[in-house]
Amino acid sequence: MPDHLTLTGVVATSPRHITTNSGLDITSFRLASGQRRFDREQKKWVDAETNWYTVTTFRQLALNVVGSVERGQHVVVTGRLRVRAWENGDKSGTTIELEAEAAGHDLSWGTSAYTKTVFAGSSGDAAATPGGGFIPPETPSGPGLAQVGWAPPLSGGGGPDASAGSSGSPGADAAAEDSAAAAETAAAEDTEADVKAEPGGLLLPF
């Protein structure tokens, strides 16, 4: 059974959103999780190493992440930990991936506004759509939505295993997921070198 892990850190790459041929929404980004330790000699907390993770989200969570999260923001994510092998042209390697079940801003570093997703069949002004789905309370807006467009997603926020009964091909979705993870990892190699630590342990991309 995959290990579950909760991470805090800084979003080091702009969230990347794709939709598979079967309609599965996937959003991924690189997370820089800085570690701190207490130095007894200096009698203060000091920065230690930074660990890097690829965070992958699916379905409604994927849409909410691309509409809410930006590069440089502090977040908290929790989910299943996986180690994946990847290839991109003449490059290959392994990446530590967190298949997120929940994600949000780390309020230790700032404030955040919350807008609830309204699903069909719930109380209020939400109207049912043929075959289920949801109607948002207003036209969504935010970073990334203008580029990816907006369509009623499949309900649920879990990974590919949560799609039982969907019309898509599990094999195609898994291949798309692996391809997205490989591209995200390869594109992040230069990004990791561009992230600096500021006093107090704050990690920010240039």
User: Residue ranges of the chain with pLDDT lower than 50?
Assistant: 1, 124-156, 163-168, 187, 190-191, 193-206
Question: What pLDDT is recorded for position 160?
Answer: 57
Containing structural domain, residue 169: 3-196
- What is the per-residue pLDDT for 158? 54
Q: What is the 3-state secondary structure (H, E, C) of the chain?
A: CCEEEEEEEEECCCCEEEECCCCCEEEEEEEEEEEEEEECCCCEEEEEEEEEEEEEEEHHHHHHHHHHCCCCCEEEEEEEEEEEEEEECCEEEEEEEEEEEEEEECCCCCCCCCCCCCECCCCCCCCCCCCCCECCCCCCCCCCHHHHCCCCCCCCCCCHHHHCCCCCCHHHHHHHHHHHHHHHHHHHHHHHHCEEEECCCEEEEC
Q: What integer pLDDT is reported at residue 144 of this predicted model?
A: 40
Query: What pLDDT is stored for residue 71 in this prediction?
Result: 94
Q: Residue 15: its pLDDT value, please?
A: 94
- Please check whether residue 205 lies inside any domain of the structure: no
What is the reported pLDDT for 18?
93
Instruction: Tell whether 147 is covered by a domain.
Output: yes
* 172 belongs to a structural domain: yes
Q: Is 206 inside any structural domain?
A: no
pLDDT value of residue 197: 41
Decide: pTM greater than 0.85.
Answer: no
- According to the model, what pLDDT value does residue 129 have? 41
Question: Domain holding 59: CATH number?
Answer: 2.40.50.140
The domain tally of the chain equals: 1
